[in-house]
Structures are given as structure tokens and as C-alpha cells.
Structure 1
């Protein structure tokens, strides 16, 4: 199999300040490229913060020029970045929670969160998911937070030939043990590499747990952040063997 380097970007979002969060994302992308990362996944709603009350105001079309700096950086670094943002797929449409895939080749793909948490329907509409991301020999299936709480979601990804299941999430301290065990179980059950990118600090009134992680296809932890804060959690496959590391980033270096 070809070499592959994946990373979870454990970032801290500034509530509602999309321009500032874009700058932070650009810094994460540069740091990831220095580590040889090819696919970088950010948390749920990473560009806006998890702020349902602001979502209608902040929502953009996927092709909005606001994302141009990120798309250009992805192409420049030859890095595919998956970023979280509220979007409208058409004028007047409801707001979806999206994972936008900014391709290393300049392409754009959209994944919309299929399963909403209780209460999210006040601000968001359920999405339709999205295509599996093709990356050389691998197929990367995306998930956004509550999607992975449905066992059928990971099962369908495996049935579609996915080799990696990558989830951008917001997981609180109280929910971390249950949710991480669920994701670890999917890795072992389906033979998937499972990536979880969590917020590294508070968002939307939630005390986020950090501790982003990547599990190997046997369910064993390849790499995990020890707590909160800005960090890259990286897994590399070379010669068929996976290794991992967590790299802490100084807050001022991610601005």
C-alpha cells in the first residue's frame, strides 16, 4: 500500500469570528504540512465554533469566496483539509452542518451532517452525507459528530469500501468515555482506521474534552492528544505499518 499520513487538527475556535478562525486554520495547515500530513481533519463547525444561535447569520454557500485563502493554501501545500462550517446549499435553504473537503488539487466536496443531536433541529436541517473521499489506495469516509452515534453510519462506510473513518466532532468531558469507546469499537469491528478531531477548548457553552485520537484497524490507539489545547494528532502508514504521534502547538503559533 502507498504511504499515507493523516492528522486530526485539535483546534480552538473563536465564537462567531470566522476570519480569525480562518487564520488559525491556515496556521494549522502549515504546521501539518511541515509534518508531512496529506489529509487534515478539523472539528465540527471549526470555522464558526459550535454556535447554533449564530449559524443562520454565518452560513455561506460552499463555493463562497470566504474560503478562498483556505482553498489556495490546500493547493499550495498539496494538503487536503476537511473544515467545519454552517452552509446553505441554495438561497433560502435551511442551514446544514458541513464538512467541506478542500482538495490538494483545488477541488471542493461537501459532506453534510446526516444525524442531528436533540435540539439541533432548531438551528439546522439534517443533511445528506457525501461521497467517500478517494485518496490513492484509500477511501476515507467522513462523519460529523452525532453521525457516528448511529452504528449504521460506520457500517455503511465499511460496506462502501472505506479504509478510514474520519469524524469531526464536539465531545464534552461528560461524553468522552462513551463516545471514544464507540469509535474505538468501530475500528476493531470494521477493520477501519478511525480518526476523531475534537475541539481543544470551550465552544458553544460546552467544556470540550480535547483528547483527539486515531485508532488503528485493530482498535489500538495509534496517537492521542493528552488533553485540551491546540494539537495535531498524526498517524503515518509506511510499508503497511502504522505509527502515530501527538504534537502540541503553542496557541500563539496557531493564530
Structure 2
């Protein structure tokens, strides 16, 4: 990013969605995702973010047992109802699902991004796979990803990525004004991570932070819900309870500018550097 002082000129409305998943049923979960897109659009949202592995649920053994049937591709016809919802409403979506690397066949935990016209935009693969995920056969991704939407730059993360400060920092140093994370945070320790880590990522980087989390049983976990948006000073802007919901927030350039004027460390890239290469895509 040439100038980290560059800020968006207009507000941007985003949403985080949470709902129960049907285990290993991609069409059913696509239908749920399409409904959430329409709900987010009705609240004025330009982009909806959904939880980690939303298209299958967090069902690692089931995915690895039938990867050909359960991984999704950018041209997957099962995504057509979701693409149609995006095109009809003008609202994009960031949706979690399992994928396979085109060349190596390695399993990845990914998000697929569909634009406001329903077309595939880009894919981000989780860079920090947990030990359990690696043991199950999932490999980490090698690139970060930043989206451009209406003058805002949005860094993508998936669950455990958020536990590594350098991941959100790399997004910020790539010019991100917000950090968007789809997660599987369970009750107990996951709920603590949500309230401790997410505000820290916002405060560390004077960036908005959005979390989309599971709110029901998914694999071995029971999601704690609490999808939310935090301001660039780490204060909570809005949050959901532990139930199906869409939470919508408007990101304000003036709030972002004030936070960065108060804490200008971000605009000195000599203080830190991205740890991995990144790609960018326009919505």
C-alpha cells in the first residue's frame, strides 16, 4: 500500500450472519446463506460475512471422508442459489467452505467471495490451520487476501488466524480499514477468545473488526454466537446473541480517521511488516 493514510470517503454498511448448519449438506446450507444475504440486503448491507465452514458445518471427519462430494469450487453449481441472491439484492457474500487446491489436491479451509452481481470474485485459504485441522488432513494457505469495496479495503481472516496478531497487522499494512473474520468459536474458551482477541485486533491496528460466528452445534463444538462489529478503538459497535441473527453496522470514515489520528503508529510501516504475501480483489 503506497499511503497508509488513505481513507475511504463514504460510509460502508456490512453484516455478519449466524444460523444453524445442516451437517455435510451443501445445498441446504447454501439455501440458508441465500436467505441471510436477502436479510442483510434488507438492512442496507453491501456485504455479508458468514462463519467458518458454513457450507458444510465444522465437520472435519465427514469432509475428509468424502472430499470430492463436499469440497466446493468457484464454479460449483450448488452455489447458484447463493449467487442469485447476491445478484438480485446487490449484496456480496463471504462464505466459508472446504476446498481443494487445484494443483496439489490438498484440502483447505477457505472462504469464497461472491460479488454484488453474484459472480465469483476470489478465494482466501486459512493461513493458520489448527493442529487438529492439520491432523485431519487440511493444509494452510499461503497468501493473505484484501478486498476492495466502495473505497474500503477489507482484510479477510478465518478463525484461528485472528489469534496471530501479525495476521491482522499484515492486512492493516496492506491498507485494510477493516478485518473480517468467519469463525467457529465454541462456548467456554471460544467465548473468551471472542471478547478478548477481537477488540485487541481492532485496537492494535485502528481498524474496524467484524466477526461472523456459529451459533449452534457444528461438529464437536457448540458455537457461542455473538457475531459482532468492533470500532477501531476496540469498543463494541454491535453484537448478536447466541441465536440465529444478522447484525449490521455502518463503518464511518470519520470514526476511522479519528482513531488513526489518535494512534498514528499504523502509518509507519518500518515498525512491522507483513509476514506472508497478499492478493487483492475488487468487489
TM norm structure 2: 0.81
Instruction: Report if aligned partners of 2:17, 2:49 keep a CA contact under 8 Å in 1.
Output: yes
Report whether the alignment pairs 1:112 with 2:120. no
Q: Deviations over 1:126-167 (max 9, x none)?
A: 112443100122100000001111111011111111001000
Match of residue 266 from structure 2: none
Matched pairs, number: 241
> In the alignment, which residue of structure 2 is the partner of 1:95?
107
Tell me which structure has the larger Cα radius of gyration.
2
Matched, 1:155 2:199: no
Map of 1:44-193 to 2, 5 A cutoff? 44-56=52-64, 57=66, 58-90=70-102, 93-105=105-117, 106-121=119-134, 122-175=136-189, 176-193=191-208
The separation in 2 between residues aligned to 1:144 and 1:238, in whole angstroms, is: 24
Please name the residue that 1:206 is paired with: 221
Q: Secondary structure at the match of 1:93?
A: coil
Q: Check conservation: 1:40, 1:81, Cα contact below 8 A.
A: yes
RMSD: 1.6
Provide closer, same or farther for how the CA distance between residues 239 and 112 of structure 1 changes in structure 2, counting only shifts above 3 A: closer
Q: Which stretch has the larger CA shift, 204-213 or 164-173?
A: 204-213
Q: CA deviation at 1:120?
A: 0.6
Structure 2: stretches of 5+ with no match in the other structure: 1-8, 257-283
**Deviation at 1:10?**
1.3
Structure 2: distance between partners of 1:187 and 1:9:
20
Instruction: Give, in angstroms, the shift of residue 27 of structure 1.
Output: 0.9
Q: TM-score, normalised by structure 1?
A: 0.90
- What is the deviation of 1:26? 1.0
Unaligned stretches of 5+ in structure 1?
A: 243-255
